[in-house]
Amino acid sequence: MWRDLLQAVIELIYPSRLQCPLCGAHRPDELLCPDCRQLLAGYAGEQVCSICGSFIGAEGGRGKLICPACLAEARPFDLARAVAPYEGPVREAVHRFKYRGMQPLARPLAKLMADAALRETAFALADALVPVPLHPRRERERGYNQSVLLACALGESLQVPVLDRALVKIRQTPSQTGLSGQKRRQNLQQSFAVAAPDLVKGKIIIIVDDVFTTGSTVSILSHLLRQAGATSVLVLTFAGTRQSVKK
Ligand SMILES: [Zn+2]
Ligand SMILES: [Zn+2]
């Protein structure tokens, strides 16, 4: 009874709990509205790059396909997966979550990420979740780190501990516009550090973030975690990229 009452109070404070986390449509009981459920089911059936998880477009299971970006350059992580490409209602949901203070979205988005993780056996072996750190100044401005919120909710779902102090952002990354690939990497590399190498040594780590775009940040973090002794690094994000591949 107290639980029901608490639930009613929460719904009063956060009416978003009654809305589809992706499009905001009214959703009386299930996690997603019927349209978004269908949209995500379509994405789940798409072919993805077997390394970085980029959505390739064609339906037809998850055979071994490697995208041009992964063929061109070895990735420092073993595997990355996302729930859906960063487009349409998925993109809008990320914006509401990240820039418009919709922290309660962490739980439903993490639930969808947990479902995506359960589809890949590699994720079942993970020892810990590591969120992408924000610079403390940025975190103060925003009031929260969206990756930490996702990692904590995901940790509860998957029953995996969250190491939210393993990595730190030691300086704000300078503007990357107009810089060469090497200079960008250097900038990023100098922006992060492993604060607690003992925590990651010998572990299989999942880096958790809201969006995977070029993968440059998670690549630098994967590299740092491996240097600190992590045995394997996987990446799980809510949104990912789409690539077109010539067949
Ligand atoms: Zn919806
Ligand atoms: Zn790829």
- Total-model pTM: 0.89
* Length of the chain, in residues: 247
What is the Å distance from ligand 1's center to 200 Cα? 37
- Class assignment of domain 48-173+181-240? alpha beta
Model confidence band, residue 184 (pLDDT cutoffs 50, 70, 90): confident
Task: Tell which wins on pLDDT, 114 or 10.
Answer: 114
What is the Å distance from ligand 1's center to 234 Cα? 28
What is the Å distance from ligand 2's center to 51 Cα? 5
**Least confident interval from 12-26, 84-98, 111-125, 157-171:** 12-26
What is the Å distance from ligand 1's center to 159 Cα? 27
Q: In this predicted structure, what is the pLDDT of residue 180?
A: 79
What is the Å distance from ligand 1's center to 70 Cα? 32
What is the Å distance from ligand 1's center to 26 Cα? 8
Q: In this predicted structure, what is the pLDDT of residue 202?
A: 98
User: Best-predicted range by mean pLDDT among 75-84, 135-144, 172-181, 184-193?
Assistant: 75-84
C-alpha distance from residue 1 to each of 4, 8, 14, 206, 209 (Å): 5, 11, 20, 38, 36
Q: Residue 200: which residues within 8 A CB-CB, separation 6 or more? A: 128, 130, 163, 166, 194, 225, 228, 229, 230
Ligand nearest to the CA of 27: 1
What is the Å distance from ligand 1's center to 52 Cα? 26
Query: Residue 111 pLDDT more than 60?
Result: yes
Model confidence band, residue 63 (pLDDT cutoffs 50, 70, 90): low
Query: Residue 244 pLDDT more than 90?
Result: no
**How far, in Å, CA of 33 to CA of 88, rounded?**
15
Model confidence band, residue 245 (pLDDT cutoffs 50, 70, 90): low
Query: Residue 1 pLDDT more than 80?
Result: no
What is the Å distance from ligand 1's center to 163 Cα? 32
Q: Residue 17: which residues within 8 A CB-CB, separation 6 or more? A: 10, 11, 104
Model confidence band, residue 168 (pLDDT cutoffs 50, 70, 90): very high
Query: Residue 11 pLDDT more than 70?
Result: no
What is the Å distance from ligand 1's center to 40 Cα? 10
What is the Å distance from ligand 2's center to 115 Cα? 21
Find the mean pLDDT for residues 138-143.
90
Model confidence band, residue 176 (pLDDT cutoffs 50, 70, 90): confident
What is the Å distance from ligand 1's center to 143 Cα? 26
Ligand nearest to the CA of 75: 2
Percent of the chain that is helix, strand, coil (3-state, to 5): 45, 20, 35
Q: In this predicted structure, what is the pLDDT of residue 243?
A: 86
Find the mean pLDDT for residues 118-142.
94
Show the tokens assigned to 179: 């810089």
